[in-house]
Structure 1
Amino acid sequence: MKLVGIIGAMEEEVMKLRDQMTVTNVRSIAHTEYIRGSLAGREIVLAKSGLGKVNAAVCAQVMIDIFRIDALISLGVAGAISPELDICDVVISREFIQHDVNAVAFGYSKGEIPQMDTSVFKADTHLIHLMEKASDVLDAKTRVVTGRILGGDQFISKVEEREELYQFYAGDCAEIEGGAAIAQVCYLNRIPFVAVRSITDRADNTAGMDFNEFTRQAAVNSTKLLLRLLTLL
């Protein structure tokens, strides 16, 4: 892999990577800065997409079309859907589903995208394996699972919403950072991808407060894991 694209949605998720990069070029496209350079011995393009599926999809497609990346890594944070996960645990993407797609009125299941041949977008198995291998850099107390990540343009902050998502989709975590859109864009363009999400909250009634308190701490785990992954590529 000659050039790796890395997308984070928020400043907390990209700042440590940017600070450690040897930057060779910065381009502004569609209100987003794309930072080209090297990190951990690997040529990368780093961008902060902003929250939401549209922002993430635009960012991913720009990286593919203009920078000609060979692989894409999405890093960020999420809320726990599985009762097995706690704050600062880590989920490596096995696959993504968009939980807020609803065309039930037309005979589709929830989460099923009309006129698509799949609605479950799987991460690259080789990148998953390397990400799992890289997880040895994390504290032994940090639980790391490879599982299903749910993406949508909403922040899950009610117990009943969390339970519904867990029962219907069997998801491990839910995020608003656009990971599911990145997964779909990579699927359509045949670009290998993987995502890592560190848990900031339990997607319950205190999710908003927990998110604000633990985002920076959780992002540290995602960053550590990504830096280690780059050395293995």
Structure 2
Amino acid sequence: MTIAVVAAMHEELGALLAQMPDEQRVQVAGRDFWVGHLHGQPVVAVLSRIGKVAAALTATVLLERFKVRAIVFTGVAGGLAPGVRVGDVVVATKLLQHDLDASPIFPRYEVPLTGHARFAVDTAIGDALAAAAAEVLRDPVGLLGPQVVEDFGLAAPRVHRGLLVSGDRFVSTAAESAVLRRDLPDALAVEMEGAAVAQVCHDYGVPFAAVRTISDRADDEAHGDFTRFVSAVASRYSLALVDAWLATLPAQ
């Protein structure tokens, strides 16, 4: 059965497609789904688009049309917790929508009628991705080159595991980050899609995992050299990490 690899950025998707020897494009709902193989595994690779609704639609098509057996989401995120630095990798254990508030009818952050605010990832896939990330980050110079490591200060990147929060806004001020840290003190990083995909996968009973490269600290410097970071760092991280994980799976 097929695994879905969902990328948040065009650069990441391009890096994955370059390694798929037999990809075929299938267009559904205005999206290009690339069906092929990576490390002998049947894979569908797709760009999620930005925001929770777009990501949820993409996940639903993957589950309904392509009948995937698991979804792995890769992309970038803004670091929130102390010690979560640019170039680090966060492998989610749970995901939450930080901008969802149906109170007082339901508790803040809870998805109405589900009883859940935090959606857990698949433990086995999360563990495997974390192990793969640790191996990938062991030699950043070998992966990225000395100039990139120096430019972005990536001498000792780390892997973190914990809560990843999602919302339909790009968090890019110190004030916004401070509010998130106050209200969700265990949140490691913030992005715009993962929790929506986690909710869809929960409803379908399909394993899900999310891994994010920290591109900024979600503060006033968040814009930075974002495009170069995605191309030079995040896309290479994602490809190496997904490759390492898929290589551990039994051949299909």
Output the TM-score relative to the length of structure 1. Answer: 0.94
Instruction: Name the structure 2 match of 1:230.
Output: 246
Instruction: Name the structure 2 match of 1:121.
Output: 119
- The answer to whether residue 73 in structure 2 is matched with residue 74 in structure 1 is yes
Deviation at 1:191, TM superposition (A): 0.4
User: What stretches of structure 1 of length at least 5 have no aligned partner?
Assistant: none
Identity %: 34
Contact 1:198 1:219 in 2 (8 A): no
Instruction: Name the structure 2 match of 1:131.
Output: 129
Of 109-118 and 39-48, more deviation after overlay is shown by 109-118
Of 213-222 and 37-46, more deviation after overlay is shown by 213-222
Deviation at 1:42, TM superposition (A): 1.1
Instruction: Name the structure 2 match of 1:41.
Output: 40
Matched residue of 1:172: which SS? strand
Matched residue of 1:229: which SS? helix
Per-residue CA deviation, residues 43-70 of structure 1 (Å, 9 max, x unaligned), is: 1000012111111111111111111101
Of 146-155 and 202-211, more deviation after overlay is shown by 202-211
- The answer to whether residue 236 in structure 2 is matched with residue 220 in structure 1 is yes
Whichever residue aligns with residue 92 of structure 2, its letter is S
Matched residue of 2:237: which SS? helix
Contact 2:8 2:76 in 1 (8 A): no
Per-residue CA deviation, residues 83-114 of structure 1 (Å, 9 max, x unaligned), is: 2111110000101000010122x243331222
Q: For the residues of structure 2 that align with 1:210 and 1:174, how far apart are their CA atoms?
A: 18
Q: For the residues of structure 1 that align with 2:63 and 2:50, how far apart are their CA atoms?
A: 19
Whichever residue aligns with residue 193 of structure 1, its letter is F
Instruction: Name the structure 1 match of 2:191.
Output: 175
Contact 1:87 1:218 in 2 (8 A): no
Matches within 5 A, 1:78-97: 78-97=77-96
Q: For the residues of structure 1 that align with 2:238 and 2:25, how far apart are their CA atoms?
A: 23
Contact 1:77 1:219 in 2 (8 A): no
Matched residue of 2:223: which SS? helix
Matches within 5 A, 1:155-174: 155-169=170-184, 170-174=186-190
Contact 2:92 2:164 in 1 (8 A): yes
Alignment RMSD: 1.4
Per-residue CA deviation, residues 10-68 of structure 1 (Å, 9 max, x unaligned), is: 20121110011022421101110011000122110000121111111111111111111
Of 130-139 and 207-216, more deviation after overlay is shown by 207-216
Whichever residue aligns with residue 112 of structure 2, its letter is P
Of 12-21 and 133-142, more deviation after overlay is shown by 133-142
Q: For the residues of structure 2 that align with 1:139 and 1:219, how far apart are their CA atoms?
A: 17
User: What stretches of structure 2 of length at least 5 have no aligned partner?
Assistant: 140-155
Deviation at 1:215, TM superposition (A): 2.3
Matched residue of 2:210: which SS? strand
Matched residue of 2:36: which SS? strand
Matched residue of 1:23: which SS? coil
Of 207-216 and 127-136, more deviation after overlay is shown by 207-216
